[in-house]
Every structure is written in C-alpha cells, then in structure tokens.
Amino acid sequence: MSFNWLEYFNLAQELVGQTGTPAGQEARQRSAISRAYYAAFCQARNHLRDQEGHPLPGDAQVHAYVRDQFRDSPDSRRKQIGENLNRLRIDRNKADYEESVPRLDTMTVRDMTLAQQVLAMLSQL
C-alpha cells in the first residue's frame, strides 16, 4: 500500500502543538528513521569539522564525504561509524521518498539502534 504523504503534515501539526488529525504510525516511523539519520550524520559531520579540522563540501556531497571519512579508516570503530551512516542514509532515503517501505517496523528498530551506536562511538573518539 502506498504511503499517504499528507500524514507528514498531520505529524508536523502535532509537533508544533496544533490540533488536527493525529498522524499515523507509518508517518511516525518514517520520521523517526529520518531524524535518527540526521542526528547521527550531523554529529559525525561536526566531529570531522570541529575535532579533526576537515574542510567539508558545502553541498549534498557532504553526506558521502562524511560517510567515507569514517568508512575508509583503518580504525574498526570509525569504519563501523561509516558503515552505520551508510545503512542509515539508504534507509532514510527509502523512508523519505518511497511510496511503500517493506518491513518498516523492523527497519525503524534497526535504525534507532544504528544511530544510537554511531552517537555512542562518536562520543568515545
């Protein structure tokens, strides 16, 4: 079944405290996947920029740049951060753009775990 994209507006209304039609679970899960990715990505991006002095691309290429800086490292923790960011980005794109996302429940749980791992590993670098 195709996702009803208007559910995102319902969720947006809820988030800002406006009354309206409550958002459905699918909108919440899709949003959770997207927000989890951006939390992990932005923390990783800021780590590279602020802690390691990397000059970052100023366009959408920054997503691949950040992922690759971690994934291509010989350090196993950094490599895992990059792998997790890659999986999160793939799933975020599905959640944000695909009409239908198979096994969304499972994907949501996995992505929350992956994002939590990224955030924890970054705090240990």
Instruction: Please name the amino acid found at residue 65.
Output: Y
Per-residue pLDDT of the chain in tens (125 residues, 90 and over written 9): 689 888 988 998 988 888 778 889 999 999 999 999 999 999 999 999 999 999 999 999 999 999 999 999 999 999 999 999 999 999 999 999 999 999 999 999 999 999 999 999 999 99
Q: Which two tokens stand for residue 123?
A: 């705090």
Element (H, E) at 62: helix 62-71
* pTM for this predicted structure: 0.91
In the chain, what are the domain boundaries? 25-123
Q: Which two tokens stand for residue 37?
A: 């990715």
CB within 8 A of 88, min separation 6: which ones?
33, 36, 37, 40, 41, 111, 114, 115, 118
Identify which of 66, 78, 85 has the alpha carbon closest to the alpha carbon of residue 124.
78
